[in-house]
Structure 1
Amino acid sequence: MEAHLDVAYPFTGTWRVQNSPADRVPSHGTAALASSHAIDFVPVTADGKSAPIRLASLLRTEPPDRFPGYGRPILAPVDGIVVATSDDATDHDAYRGVPSIGYALTQQQRLAGGWPNLAGNHLLIESDGVVIALCHLQRSSLRVTPGERVRTGAPIARCGNSGNSTEPHVHVQAIDRVDVEQARAVPLSFRGVLPHNGDVLDVPE
């Protein structure tokens, strides 16, 4: 039987689902780097919206702190052991409108830098033989170190815009080993459910 990991949501508050394997596999359009079952969550306001789009938003990049979820707490989705962390990547500007086209054209360049370059600030937690990765975290926000045991719901970092990210969000994927470039994807569910693209989740504290 294929491995499967059921986890808690790694946050509270209101978030929108994006790139979900409930809608397509591979969820991100590629099976590379064990991302077939990865899922993205974008922090939004209570009415389900990201930062307001103005004319300037369509013409130039925007600082990440304009977005409602930048810096929101990220929580451990499982009980487990932290097995890897990275915390020094820059939180770059967000890309919407015309700037997003140029950003998309440089995707291959970022891919050539390997998984750490795409993930940005990240941490990996091993639980029952499966490793869960949380990516695009805020620089210098990690509150855990490798070898540390964490409990579900414990604050571990903050939402950022590092790595391959067009706006602040958290990318979650499960894999069968720590070496992401050699790993296989493991299907995920969240409290027994796999949310669909566009779903707006209101996760209580």
Structure 2
Amino acid sequence: MTLMILIFQIAIPMMLIGWLAFLPAASLVGLMLQAMGTGAFLFALARVAQWAVPVWWFPWLYGGLWLVSFVISLSRVRSPLLLPLFPDKPLEWALFALSIVLLGVGSWYGARALAGRHLPPVDIVDIANPFGPGRFLVGHGGSNKLVNGHLRTLDPEVERFRPWRGQSYAVDFFGLGPWGLRAAGWRPRDPNAYAVFGAELKAPCNGTIVRAEDTLPDFEIPDQDTVNRLGNHVILRCSEAEIVFAHMRQDSLSVAPGDDVVVGQRLGAVGNSGASTEPHLHIHAQRPAPEAAPPISGEPLALRIDGRFLVRGDRLNGATN
């Protein structure tokens, strides 16, 4: 995973920016395609990749560098309008083709990522902000698999997904610390090094606690519990929907099954229990599971938090009171 991040979120963006700045195309159409292709590809990376590592503002940095590199490329050409319209050498034609590929790939993936911002064809549950103080980044969220990996559990052909089907439109949150970093280090083993660990969680709706687990351990990174997948968790029934909080901190819960809660009441804190490879909050909405069925196998619903349908890369400020 680290290698993929280094390649796709650092090496490739810097190579594309450097190519545009220092090796501009020698034809007018080629230069325009080079700028459009690199720009489209960088935009797609910004919308598709998780920017918890490196920091969330890297796509904005790359966008600024792309603009500077385009200006530099124009400055290297005394008069762009005097350039030949199309390439006249084999290498230039090869780079011309590369620009077209980048434009096509970037446009397709960028459009798919933007399509993930549309509300899915399921009922929407509106809830209040579930966080206490802090800043949070969406790692998974949205209405297609490109930006929300949880949607894989909608596949009826995969039997092992059926017990988890209720989580299909889940949202995962990382925390943001100083400089927008999610942790003190690249991937420290200690969960306390992560900005989200210990973040306060509050009831986002009036309702009744139907399940609560508080005794499971918080693991060091990247260890996890693949048997008790939810880890420490709370399931809060609000009217006809259930809101599920997973991977909470051991011994942090302030509620128990049967408790009635109101919006803003403390539930517990974010941890790293269950099937979690690093501290984060998993939250989703579902219809109550059938009697004797697994607890998160109910009909999946989509969440809107403080009126926002949150998608990968979005940020949310926690409530201050």
TM-score by shorter chain over 0.5 = yes
Pick the aligned partner of 2:208 from 81, 89, 94: 81
CA contact (8 A) 1:6 1:189 kept: yes
Q: How do residues 119-130 of structure 1 correspond to structure 2 at under 5 angstroms? A: 119-130=230-241
**TM-score, normalised with respect to structure 1:** 0.81
Q: For residues 53 and 46 of structure 1, do their structure 2 counterparts lie closer, same or farther at Cα, with a shift above 3 Å needed?
A: closer
| Unmatched 5+ stretches in structure 1 | 96-102
Seq. identity, %: 28
1:180 corresponds to 2:300: no
Q: Take 2:171 and 2:238, find their aligned partners in 1: how far apart are those partners?
A: 18
Deviation at 1:88, TM superposition (A): 0.9
Higher RCO (CA 8 Å, separation ≥ 6 residues): 1
Cross-structure match for 2:170:
38
**TM-score, normalised with respect to structure 2:** 0.53
Whichever of the two has the greater Rg, that structure is 2
Pick the aligned partner of 2:258 from 147, 150, 155: 147
Deviation at 1:192, TM superposition (A): 1.6
Deviation at 1:162, TM superposition (A): 0.3
Cross-structure match for 2:125:
5
Deviation at 1:23, TM superposition (A): 5.0
Cross-structure match for 1:194:
309
Cross-structure match for 1:20:
141
Q: Take 1:2 and 1:198, find their aligned partners in 2: how far apart are those partners?
A: 22
Q: Take 1:162 and 1:139, find their aligned partners in 2: how far apart are those partners?
A: 7
Letter in 1 for 2:199: R
- Runs (4+) of structure 1 exceeding 6 A deviation are none
Query: Aligned to 1:187, what secondary structure does the other structure show?
Result: strand
Q: Take 1:46 and 1:202, find their aligned partners in 2: how far apart are those partners?
A: 14
Cross-structure match for 2:272:
161
Deviation at 1:157, TM superposition (A): 0.2
Q: Take 1:191 and 1:45, find their aligned partners in 2: how far apart are those partners?
A: 22
Cross-structure match for 2:193:
66
TM-align CA RMSD = 2.2
Q: For residues 176 and 67 of structure 1, do their structure 2 counterparts lie closer, same or farther at Cα, with a shift above 3 Å needed?
A: same
Q: Take 2:122 and 2:170, find their aligned partners in 1: how far apart are those partners?
A: 16
In the alignment of these two chains, the number of paired residues is 184
* Higher share in strand: 1
